[in-house]
Structure 1
């Protein structure tokens, strides 16, 4: 099994889930006391946030590339950027790596295609919802996406991701608002909901909806294990 490198800390609260899911999935597939060989480079989230807030994508790229290269130098053979927003610079990072990068957008699109859905609601950071890097990838895979129409709602999601979920704070009131926003997307024709920030699954999940929910943390982590285990089966 290939060694998995996680560019984490974006945020720490969801990186914990990545580590747990990767090891649970490895054990489910391998049995016994087998778990993943993996390593985490936890970046300082403040630096990541500062670059993003200024739309300094070169700064975000440099920060995440350094982490990915450090993981590769330490022996990682497969790299994950443990945040949807980080994939703004995913292609640029992949070009600089010797090891393959598992793209969260592509594996999420594949999961949606498996359900044969054509229109989904997308919840995430303002960057993920408002910039085109994520929705473009969905379109290229035949999937239409809609986001909350209200800027106030998008800003609420952004604020709570930073100041609640990203700090491990889970609020029942915030959950109610997220569910209301998602249900409005379903009423607009969304056949499923993408939890397009890796902190959102900490708050809401499949049990809260009647339509398919795409937990990008889980999808990404399991895809990494599947790719890492190709070295065993081939």
Structure 2
């Protein structure tokens, strides 16, 4: 099994989910006492979040590239970034390393197309919902039309991620807010919903949702394990 390198810590709450999922998928595939061979480099989220708010994506790209290089030097055969938002700078990571980089949108796009979905709702941080680095990739690579919440909905979804979920604070009232946002997306024609922030999986489970759920965290982790076992090249 190849070594999976994970850039984590954004937030560490979601990185713990990645670690569990990587090992569960490896055990499911290989059985017995097997688990995933992995390295995780955990960054300090405080300066990352500050640079996000400041819009300093160049600095963020340098930070992510440095982390990826450290993982490659440590023996990683594949690098993955355990956050949706920071894929805003994925090109900086790809350019910094010689091993493959597994983009988080690709396993989700492939799963959506396999399910016959053409129009999908997206929940995530403001950066993911409002910028084009994520929705554009889904459109260009997978022909998907992506719907995002209205301004008020985006504000609620973003606030709950940063003020609650990043701190491990899971509130029933916030779940109800997300369910309302998802219902509105369904009324606008969404056939499914992407949980496009790795912390959202702490709050919304498939049984909580009126639409089929495509959880980027779970799909990303599974794709990494499949690659590590089968040594297929991920899409760049």
Q: Structure 1: how far apart are the matches of 2:32 and 2:106?
A: 31
Match of 2:221 in 1: 221
Q: Deviations over 1:198-225 (max 9, x none)?
A: 0001100211224311000000000000
Match of 2:92 in 1: 92
Q: Structure 1: how far apart are the matches of 2:149 and 2:156?
A: 11
Is contact 2:18–2:218 with CA below 8 Å preserved after alignment? yes
Q: Structure 2: how far apart are the matches of 1:55 and 1:108?
A: 26
Q: Deviations over 1:165-188 (max 9, x none)?
A: 001000010110011001100011
Match of 1:174 in 2: 174
- Is residue 111 of structure 1 aligned with residue 107 of structure 2? no
Q: Structure 2: how far apart are the matches of 1:121 and 1:210?
A: 12
Q: Structure 2: how far apart are the matches of 1:52 and 1:105?
A: 20
- Is residue 183 of structure 1 aligned with residue 179 of structure 2? no
- Within 5 Å, give how 1:1-234 maps onto structure 2: 1-140=1-140, 141-149=142-150, 151-231=151-231
TM-score by length of 1: 0.96
Say which SS state the counterpart of residue 41 (structure 1) adopts: strand
Q: Structure 2: how far apart are the matches of 1:167 and 1:209?
A: 23
Gaps of 5+ in 2: none
Runs of 4+ aligned residues of structure 1 deviating over 3 Å after TM superposition are: none
C-alpha root-mean-square deviation of aligned residues, in Å?
1.1
TM-score by length of 2: 0.95
Say which SS state the counterpart of residue 5 (structure 2) adopts: strand
Gaps of 5+ in 1: none
* Aligned length in residues: 231
1:68 Cα deviation after fit: 1.1
Q: Structure 2: how far apart are the matches of 1:76 and 1:185?
A: 39
Is contact 2:68–2:96 with CA below 8 Å preserved after alignment? no
